Amino acid sequence: MEALRSGRVAGDNAFGRRCQTWLEARTGASKCLLTPSGTHALEMAALLSDIRPGDEVIMPSFTFSSTANSFVLRGATIVFVDIRPDTMNIDETLIERAITPRTKAIVPVHYAGVGCEMESILQTAEKHGLKVIEDAAQGLMATYQGKALGTWGGFGCLSFHETKNYTSGEGGALFVNDTACVPRAEIVREKGTNRARYFRGEVDKYTWLDCGSSYLLSDLNAAILYGQLEIADTILQDRLLSWTFYHASLQELELRGLVERPAIPAACGHNGHAYYLKLANLEERTSFIDFLGSQGIIAAFHYVPLHSSPAGLRFGRFAGDDRYTTIESERLVRLPLYYGIGEPILARVVRAIDKYFGESVGPTRGRTRRLRSLEQPATL
């Protein structure tokens, strides 16, 4: 309502500036620019990295189409590299052998808010003179070696889609960590003009200087986002408690060899974005999802690997062997998890999983801290 009453609801007004300042202060990003989506942040990064036809860009196949599309739009060929089965992130040890004279950039994707091995990736990039563009769409409030995801590479791309921990409905942000790129990033974001400098009083008129597009987030969306940033730690702790409840409650099933739980490397501080299990194979996963559905609980798998899709076959190629990408993606199922889900619903999900496997596991005994339950539908 404050944004509406101001009469200034276009991009880069009061709430947009507040969000950008908050994100810079919290993450240590050199410059944060809000965008209409995480996809737009990736597109800006591709433009700013001067990706051109004939270039190659390395990334995992286990990711959303936007990760690839942003570079395909610039004419690049996507080179898919296998993932690690423990984190579902790109296998950093396989990147170097996928590099060719045409390689221009590496795009690590921090799946479920768990950081890739950025130190190793940056070393490889520096050795070969490559750009590093982080797809940190799921990564706000998560860290690698104590440093915020999205602030390791030259650019970091975040999403504030409704499925993310912090949302503006649709929205995103570009972290420009190479300060030399900030002036051009402002131009690209403002339809290729120096309009940002004009509004700061640095030029007496603005003009078209470069290739760009309309990459500003409405202040209405920014206002929705800022309300969540004000309680960002509360949201983080709530999600981490839910994640931990699942993890403790399902430990016995893993010990019995019936499921695999997520693995969090010691260097990573995750943000409770998603909780998933891995079943034995695709057939069991399908049966598991159908059973939970019969109990009024909606669970879902995640990405179908891009390299096996029609567009992936057209615009990319897989470097090396697909040892884990396909088989691990076919085993993974995500459990319901959202802010304020509450322990009663979490326990209900665990009981349904327990029922599927035919033996009671139940929540961890002796819990003294119960999660706050908000008004949410029982069917998720």
Interval 181-229: pLDDT, tens:
999 999 999 999 999 999 899 999 999 999 999 999 999 999 999 999 9
Contact by Cβ (8 Å): 311, 341: no
Contact by Cβ (8 Å): 328, 85: yes
- The reported pLDDT for the residue numbered 168 is 97
Contact by Cβ (8 Å): 41, 20: no
Interval 223-270: pLDDT, tens:
999 999 999 999 999 999 999 999 999 999 999 999 999 999 999 999
Taking the whole predicted model, whether its pTM rises above 0.85 is answered as: yes
Q: What is the DSSP string of 309-336?
A: SHHHHHHEEE-S--SSHHHHHTTEEEEP
Helix (H) or strand (E) holding 252: helix 251-255
Domains 2-229 and 232-357 share a fold: no
Helix axes 65-72, 38-48, angle to 10 degrees: 30
What are the beta bridge partners of residue 157? 135, 174
Q: What is the DSSP string of 89-140?
A: SB-GGGTGGG--TTEEEE--B-GGG----HHHHHHHHHHHT-EEEEE-TT-T
Structure tokens at 125: 């990039």
The phi, psi pair for 300, rounded to 5°, reads -145, 150
- The reported pLDDT for the residue numbered 373 is 31
Contact by Cβ (8 Å): 33, 171: no
* Beta carbons within 10 angstroms of residue 324's beta carbon: 16
Return d(Cα 218, Cα 12) in angstroms, integer: 8
- The reported pLDDT for the residue numbered 372 is 29
Structure tokens at 316: 């990319």
Domain extent listing, the chain: 2-229, 232-357
Helix (H) or strand (E) holding 59: strand 56-60
DSSP-assigned letter for residue 30: S
Interval 331-352: pLDDT, tens:
999 999 999 999 999 999 999 9
Return d(Cα 61, Cα 349) in angstroms, integer: 30
- The reported pLDDT for the residue numbered 360 is 39
Return d(Cα 53, Cα 178) in angstroms, integer: 24
Interval 98-146: pLDDT, tens:
999 999 999 999 999 999 999 999 999 999 999 999 999 999 999 999 9
Q: Which fold has domain 2-229?
A: Aspartate Aminotransferase; domain 2 (3.40.640)
Which pLDDT band, with edges at 50, 70 and 90, does 49 fall under? Answer: very high
* Helix, strand, coil percent content, the chain, rounded in steps of 5: 40, 15, 45
The CATH number of the structural domain formed by 232-357 is 3.90.1150.10
Average pLDDT, the chain: 93
What are the beta bridge partners of residue 106? 58, 132
- 3-class DSSP state for residue 156? strand
The phi, psi pair for 55, rounded to 5°, reads -70, 155
